[in-house]
Amino acid sequence: MLVLITYDVNTQDAAGRKRLRQISKQCVNYGQRVQCSVFECLLDPAQCRSLQAKLCTIMDPEKDSLRFYYLGKRYENRIEHFGCRETYLPGDTLLL
């Protein structure tokens, strides 16, 4: 299933900046960054629970926010892109 993950981390102190880097690093391991704090991740249910647990361990619930949007398996018709960056399909192969 395609999961859109967004986060907002309070970076007013060094600990917040560290949490931001750690959350970003975990999300990169599972998906594609589409905006600064937004990732599209193709996950199975076990991967999703694992990633949620990791991110919730890193974040400070008093200062930070995480959102998971479940777009499901038929996500192609649920995403519209406008603007400068080329769109991609999460299931396609990415060449680096």
CATH code, domain with 45: 3.30.70.240
For the chain, how many structural domains are there in total?
Answer: 1
In a domain, 14, yes or no: yes
pLDDT at 90: 60
* Overall pTM > 0.85: no
pLDDT at 74: 74
pLDDT in tens, 34-69: 999 999 999 999 999 999 999 999 999 999 999 999
pLDDT at 88 > cutoff 90 = no
Higher-confidence residue of 5 and 89: namely: 5
Higher-confidence residue of 71 and 86: namely: 71
| CA distance to 19, 54, 73, per residue, from 60 (Å) | 8, 12, 31
In a domain, 82, yes or no: no
In a domain, 78, yes or no: no
42 is in which domain, residue-wise?
A: 2-67
